Chain A
Amino acid sequence: MAVENRTSIAELPISSARYIGKSVNRVEDPSLVTGRTEFIDNVSLPGMVHCAMLRSPYAHAHIKSIDTSAAEKLPGVLGVLTGDEVAAVTIPIPTFPEQWGTHCMAVGKVRYVGQIVAAVAATSRYVAEDAAELINVEYEPLPAVMDPLSAMEPGSPLIYEEKGTNIIFKRLFQWGEADAAFREADHVFTEKFRWHRLGANPMETFGVISQWDPVERTLTCRGSYQAPSQYAMSIGMVLQIPSNRVRLISHPHGGSFGGKGGGPGSMVTSLLSRKIGGRPVKWIEDRMEYLSGGGGHAWDRHYEGSLAVKKDGTVTGFKVKLIDDIGCSAENFAAVGAAKPLAAFTGCYTIPAAAYDLTIVATNKVPSSAYRGMGPPPHNWVLEQLMDIAARGIGTDPAEIRRKNFIPPDKFPYTIPSGNEYDSGNYEAALNKVLQMSEYQKLRQEQAAARKQGRCLGIGVVSTIEPGVFDWNAYAMMGLPMTGVPEGVTVGIDMFGKITARVGFSLEGQGQYTIATQLLADYFGVQLEDVRVVYQDTLSAPPHFGPGGSRLGVALTGAVLGAADRLREKLLKVAAGLMQTDPANMELMDGMVRIKGVPGAEMHFAQVAATMLARSDLLPPGMDPYPEATYVWTAPGRTQADEQGRAKSYLTAANACHVVLVEVDCETGKVEILKYFIADDCGTRLNPATVEGMIQGGVAQGVGAALLEEYVYDNDGQLLTSTFMDYLIPTINEVPATEKAALVTPSPFTPLGAKGTGEGAIHTTPAAIMCAINDALAPLGLRATEVPASPNRLWKVMQEKKS
């Protein structure tokens, strides 16, 4: 037997798991809490110099000339790079969909405020910034295209003249008989919604040290990369360096949430390094650069949504029209964020028919990036608000309209109209749990009593799907027609019984090294400290993707167990030879390799490994003698997308049900979150404390999305929120503590039954808060439809009613 298909922890070769499934302390933490972890800005290399970028002050302009002479003369400056040089030696950055972008530096034209126009290498960042200021650029401003609705109009100025349009993608998807459902419905509820631009903002921005070796003609980039092998590929392609001459070394990084590592920084610094003879060039993106030109923009959306509902509350159809403004290029996977909602388009509900009228538009804003959730958070926010609007419309409780429409637990695996398959779920159980936890009826009483005193309390009850374990086919319509995202791990044992796992991704905050450690410690019956997880660069590591799309917990588990199983096979074969029996009679249990049913006929696995390493004469002929094995896991059962985008894309469907109580100060429009309850079902929890951390972190980002975070551009394309004074990240005072309950409906498809959970509550919290706000405003005949629901915005909603 080679690689097993286990769906529960009980099937591991240990009598009782001591680590996996438990909230084991993270192995990453001692180094992190002492400040010793090597984030990229800690690294200094011999001969290293520093890069500063000169960025465009215009949203849209021709570059007439660039004079770098004064900059080049400044003492301490080694070299200056401009767009013409870049165009001569690179190809435009690949985009999704293709050919909607430009080079890694502006060439001839700038398309957003903040776009890189030139780069300086100097002896310090201070001097590099001094030099950048001495570069003289002559611009011819063009009209800025800041609004996607007018960008779509014929006659609009064009971001890319050669395209003839600013519309990147336009398609109507239809699944089932949506038009008929709407015609035959007893009620149709329609609303427009606006979700404003926001994004990842990890506490550490992007950083890179690039070094070109002019003799070997190789490139090494050290940096904070979320998906190292992907970025290695795109860097090599853009810089036209053969793929096996590019090496990316990813450092532990201070969060990512989707976008870290893409973007032009690696390419620009690599070109600078080559220009100045191969010295390492370090660039640390500062926060203003991140906010106005980095990977921190996402989900700038204009929605119109409709539900077709029968009078008994059954939802028979769901239509969404989305105009998605992804800024001036499709280079950062933002378009795939508009496609991902297909993976859970109809949410937790048995809605049989749906339609998606999707238009993706270019404007003179920062190219949007991936952000945690990758598209469904705004989509869920629309669907859940419509469910509440429908509930109010037919006079039923929001919890009950959801209950009525839930996919029943015995219908899984369940294929939704947009094509994805949900693995398992019990949505009603989660709803019941959270209603019980929150004492829902008492909350309603509390709300009624408050209303009598003139206070506006609101309750939100929402239930969402959090898709997990992404595959490329979710992005097929955006130019990524592949299937099979890999994650490979090599597991090796030494003669002392120590275990080493080699992986291709570095730390980002989700505690994945701990998961691998827990798994191997239980698999081989050793202590946690006997296992080490070691990072390997893109030329050394097994094929990998790394974190993303809530995949790594599951994928890593599959890879680790697969490698361990292959290694076990070797151990059993060797031990069988030593004990003169057939390998089929052998098993591994609690670290001992033994003949099944024969007490005492056993060896410790370390002894077997020692034999393999030192006694080749005792090994069965023809076998690979090394106590090490590699396994590359990918999700089983993936399909190619059809012409309506339908595919088995996300392997797992986690479910969360939130109940939140808010108070809206009707005089000031300020929202206070009073109570927050969560029932979360992500299948088997490999490390429950880690899962809770993913949930609570998602809650915080959800609060930011619902109430605080927004990138604001003026009509000339200037970003008005270019510092943390204006882009508002929630603090400890804005994020509520939440009461959490876990349900476990294991996945039948994944190793140990775990589901993807890393993207967490950001899928659900914006919907929960918005529904609660509207529940507070409903008796006043008011409805808010825009996030962030800032005090000013809510006050305006209240004013509109009065007028």
Chain B
Amino acid sequence: MKPPRFDYVDPKTVGEAVGLLKQHESEAKLLAGGQSLMPLLNMRLARPGVLIDLGKVTALDYIREANAPSTGLRTGPSTGLRTGMLAIGAMTTKRTVEDSALIKSRQPLLHAATLLVGHAQIRNRGTVGGSMAQADPAAEYPAIAVALDATLQVAGPNGERTIKASDFFVSYLTTALDSTEMVTEVHFPLLGNSTGWSIAEVTRRHGDFAMTGVALTVTLESGGHCSGTRIVLFGVGATPVRATAAEQVVNGQKPTDKLFEQAAGKVNADITEPLSDVHASAEYRRHLAQVLTRRALAEAVARAGGKGAN
């Protein structure tokens, strides 16, 4: 299984990369970590005329907190980073994210999601931007981007723009990027003290893509009721699915087991086109979505400092 022929370019800056994308448009494919693209190349399922290797665009390898001094990091695109947010350059590897003490303490959902991604060798190469651009329906990163209301910074020949995660994942393996654009940065909020989180998935084997997963955050207000619940399912649709009907059940209520069950019962309202494959039927995924949502809500609430059950 050897790749087909392609022309190869390795730009050193975002500007150069965008220039190449403009030149070659849909003939070109971006190579980031390669963990998704290289298998496709080896199997000859991907046949780009030009491969643009972003590996030398080192300016996109960073984790930065808003209002933190740039500690010898190369400056990335200026993006109006808000307080309480962190910016991760698109070519930052998942390994770097995994090892980041800042992320482990201040954005534990991202940390936990990273640990679920494949295996060490995949994380050592796979990038944050690459994962978003790949938009695999069963992947963790797109789901938590939506759960955390992340935004993506995108560069193209006409300049830069910001796309909300909830608008970024359009359909199966398809994002809002056009063929001349690339992701440069992802902004994640740092989680507040009263916000709980959970990510749960069911896989065939440890490290496999999820058959169904859920990433969620919920905030406990001082009065003891839930607010700002964001429940995102992955593996059940072509893109991450916001279970808004379930969220509405939770918001404004005090957390109880019964509440979690009621909310879980509503997730299927938002699963409109469930996936199905040799590992899991659509029916089974719908069922798992309910089970996982119920379990994840309890876990998230417990993390938020509230009772998991009563």
Q: Find A667's partner among B39, B207, B279, B291 (CB 8 Å cutoff).
A: B291
Q: Are A286 and B284 interface neighbours, CB within 8 A?
A: no
- Tell me, in angstroms, the Cα distance from A177 to B280 when the chains sit together: 45
Q: Are A734 and B291 interface neighbours, CB within 8 A?
A: no
A453 in the interface, Cβ–Cβ < 8 Å? no
Q: Given contacts A287-B1, A712-B278, is CB(A731)–CB(B207) below 8 Å?
A: yes
Q: Are B2 and A726 interface neighbours, CB within 8 A?
A: no
Q: Find B284's partner among A130, A730, A795 (CB 8 Å cutoff).
A: A795
A129 in the interface, Cβ–Cβ < 8 Å? yes
List A contacts of B202 (CB < 8 A): 668, 670, 791
Within 8 A of B (CB), among A264-293: 286-288
- Tell me, in angstroms, the Cα distance from A758 to B159 when the chains sit together: 65
List A contacts of B3 (CB < 8 A): 126
Nearest B residue to A730 via CB reads B205
Q: Are B44 and A129 interface neighbours, CB within 8 A?
A: yes
Q: Find B288's partner among A287, A668, A730, A733 (CB 8 Å cutoff).
A: A668
List B contacts of A125 (CB < 8 A): 2
Within 8 A of A (CB), among B102-154: none
List A contacts of B44 (CB < 8 A): 129, 133
B95 in the interface, Cβ–Cβ < 8 Å? no
- Tell me, in angstroms, the Cα distance from A734 to B280 when the chains sit together: 19
Within 8 A of A (CB), among B172-231: 202, 204-209, 211
Within 8 A of A (CB), among B49-74: none
- Tell me, in angstroms, the Cα distance from A721 to B39 when the chains sit together: 15
Q: Are B1 and A286 interface neighbours, CB within 8 A?
A: yes
Q: Are B2 and A126 interface neighbours, CB within 8 A?
A: yes
- Tell me, in angstroms, the Cα distance from A712 to B206 when the chains sit together: 21
Q: Find B281's partner among A130, A667, A792 (CB 8 Å cutoff).
A: A792
Most buried by B among A125, A670, A725, A792: A792
Q: Are A721 and B1 interface neighbours, CB within 8 A?
A: no
Nearest B residue to A796 via CB reads B284
Q: Find B1's partner among A130, A133, A288, A712 (CB 8 Å cutoff).
A: A288
Q: Find B4's partner among A130, A730, A791 (CB 8 Å cutoff).
A: A130
Q: Given contacts A667-B291, A731-B207, A734-B206, is CB(A288)–CB(B43) below 8 Å?
A: yes
- Tell me, in angstroms, the Cα distance from A570 to B291 when the chains sit together: 76
List B contacts of A287 (CB < 8 A): 1
List B contacts of A720 (CB < 8 A): 277-278
List B contacts of A728 (CB < 8 A): 204-205, 208
Q: Are A708 and B204 interface neighbours, CB within 8 A?
A: yes
A790 in the interface, Cβ–Cβ < 8 Å? yes
0/1 per residue, A330-343, Cβ < 8 Å to B?
00000000000000
List B contacts of A721 (CB < 8 A): 278
- Tell me, in angstroms, the Cα distance from A667 to B281 when the chains sit together: 15
List A contacts of B1 (CB < 8 A): 129, 286-288
Chain B interfacial residues counted at CB < 8 A: 25
A284 to chain B, nearest CB (A): 10
Q: Are B279 and A733 interface neighbours, CB within 8 A?
A: no
B287 in the interface, Cβ–Cβ < 8 Å? yes
List B contacts of A795 (CB < 8 A): 284, 287
Within 8 A of A (CB), among B271-288: 277-281, 284, 287-288
Q: Are A792 and B43 interface neighbours, CB within 8 A?
A: no
0/1 per residue, A115-149, Cβ < 8 Å to B?
00000000001100110010000000000000000
0/1 per residue, B270-310, Cβ < 8 Å to A?
00000001111100100110010000000000000000000
List B contacts of A710 (CB < 8 A): 278
Q: Are A791 and B204 interface neighbours, CB within 8 A?
A: yes
B161 in the interface, Cβ–Cβ < 8 Å? no
List B contacts of A731 (CB < 8 A): 205-207
B267 to chain A, nearest CB (A): 14
- Tell me, in angstroms, the Cα distance from A734 to B44 when the chains sit together: 31
List B contacts of A708 (CB < 8 A): 204-205
B82 in the interface, Cβ–Cβ < 8 Å? no
Q: Are A790 and B205 interface neighbours, CB within 8 A?
A: no
- Tell me, in angstroms, the Cα distance from A287 to B42 when the chains sit together: 11
- Tell me, in angstroms, the Cα distance from A225 to B202 when the chains sit together: 40
List A contacts of B288 (CB < 8 A): 668
List B contacts of A790 (CB < 8 A): 204, 279
List B contacts of A734 (CB < 8 A): 205-206
B5 in the interface, Cβ–Cβ < 8 Å? yes
- Tell me, in angstroms, the Cα distance from A669 to B280 when the chains sit together: 11
Within 8 A of B (CB), among A706-744: 708, 710, 712, 720-721, 723, 725-726, 728, 730-731, 733-734
Nearest A residue to B295 via CB reads A667
- Tell me, in angstroms, the Cα distance from A790 to B281 when the chains sit together: 12
B49 to chain A, nearest CB (A): 15
Nearest B residue to A724 via CB reads B39
List B contacts of A712 (CB < 8 A): 278
List A contacts of B39 (CB < 8 A): 723
List B contacts of A288 (CB < 8 A): 1, 43
Q: Are A792 and B291 interface neighbours, CB within 8 A?
A: no
Nearest B residue to A721 via CB reads B278
A577 to chain B, nearest CB (A): 65
Q: Given contacts A130-B4, A667-B291, A668-B291, is CB(A733)–CB(B207) below 8 Å?
A: yes
Q: Are A733 and B205 interface neighbours, CB within 8 A?
A: yes
Q: Are B280 and A792 interface neighbours, CB within 8 A?
A: yes
List A contacts of B207 (CB < 8 A): 731, 733
Nearest B residue to A791 via CB reads B202
List A contacts of B211 (CB < 8 A): 791-792
- Tell me, in angstroms, the Cα distance from A585 to B2 when the chains sit together: 68
Q: Given contacts A670-B202, A708-B204, is CB(A726)–CB(B279) below 8 Å?
A: yes
Within 8 A of A (CB), among B9-25: none
- Tell me, in angstroms, the Cα distance from A156 to B3 when the chains sit together: 40
Q: Given contacts A731-B206, A733-B207, is CB(A129)–CB(B2) below 8 Å?
A: yes
List A contacts of B204 (CB < 8 A): 708, 728, 790-791
Nearest A residue to B288 via CB reads A668
List A contacts of B278 (CB < 8 A): 710, 712, 720-721, 726
A796 to chain B, nearest CB (A): 8
- Tell me, in angstroms, the Cα distance from A757 to B281 when the chains sit together: 40
- Tell me, in angstroms, the Cα distance from A670 to B206 when the chains sit together: 12
Q: Given contacts A733-B207, A792-B280, is CB(A130)–CB(B291) below 8 Å?
A: no
Nearest B residue to A289 via CB reads B1
Most buried by B among A130, A668, A669, A725: A668
List A contacts of B2 (CB < 8 A): 125-126, 129
List A contacts of B205 (CB < 8 A): 708, 728, 730-731, 733-734
A273 to chain B, nearest CB (A): 21
B239 to chain A, nearest CB (A): 20
A752 to chain B, nearest CB (A): 40
- Tell me, in angstroms, the Cα distance from A708 to B5 when the chains sit together: 36
- Tell me, in angstroms, the Cα distance from A720 to B277 when the chains sit together: 9
Within 8 A of A (CB), among B157-177: none
Q: List 12 A-B contacts (CB under 8 A).
A: A126-B2, A129-B1, A133-B4, A288-B43, A667-B291, A668-B291, A670-B202, A725-B209, A728-B205, A730-B205, A791-B280, A792-B279
Closest 6 CB pairs of A and B: A733-B206, A126-B2, A286-B1, A712-B278, A792-B284, A667-B291
Contact residues of B with A, CB < 8 Å? 1-5, 39, 43-44, 202, 204-209, 211, 277-281, 284, 287-288, 291
Beyond the given pairs A726-B278, A791-B284, 19 more chain A to chain B contacts, judged by CB atoms under 8 angstroms and listed by A's residue number, are A133-B44, A286-B1, A670-B202, A708-B204, A708-B205, A720-B278, A723-B43, A728-B208, A731-B205, A731-B207, A733-B206, A733-B207, A734-B205, A790-B279, A791-B204, A791-B280, A792-B280, A792-B284, A796-B284
